Amino acid sequence: MRHALEHLDQPLDVDALASIAGHSRRTFDRRFRALTGISPLQWLLHQRILHAQRLLEGTDLSIESIADRAGFTTAV
């Protein structure tokens, strides 16, 4: 989770997070759901949205720049 939060601007997927954690995707997904109550992908999307919200509220960055920094492929 810490790694994902520190690298939200980079392309991350569940397979990459599982690999970083040293687990198979299935084990990672099961343990992540047990810990958080949601899937890793849902959690990652929520964290990106929260990061974008903080940037929107606290900076004068453009929407495109914020989307990029939050790890979204487009501002849409």
What are the extents of the domains in the chain?
A: 2-69
Element holding 45 (H helix, E strand): helix 40-58
Predicted confidence at residue 57, as pLDDT, reads 97
Distances (CA, A) of 56 to 32, 49, 74: 29, 10, 15
Predicted confidence at residue 29, as pLDDT, reads 96
Predicted confidence at residue 34, as pLDDT, reads 97
Predicted confidence at residue 76, as pLDDT, reads 87
pTM score, whole prediction: 0.88
- pLDDT, one tens digit per residue, over 24-75 is 999 999 999 999 999 999 999 999 999 999 999 999 999 999 999 999 989 8
- Return the ∠ at Cα 4 (arms to 45 and 7), rounded to 5°: 100
Give 6's contacts (C-beta < 8 A, 6+ positions apart).
none
Predicted confidence at residue 17, as pLDDT, reads 94
CATH superfamily of 2-69: Homeodomain-like (1.10.10.60)
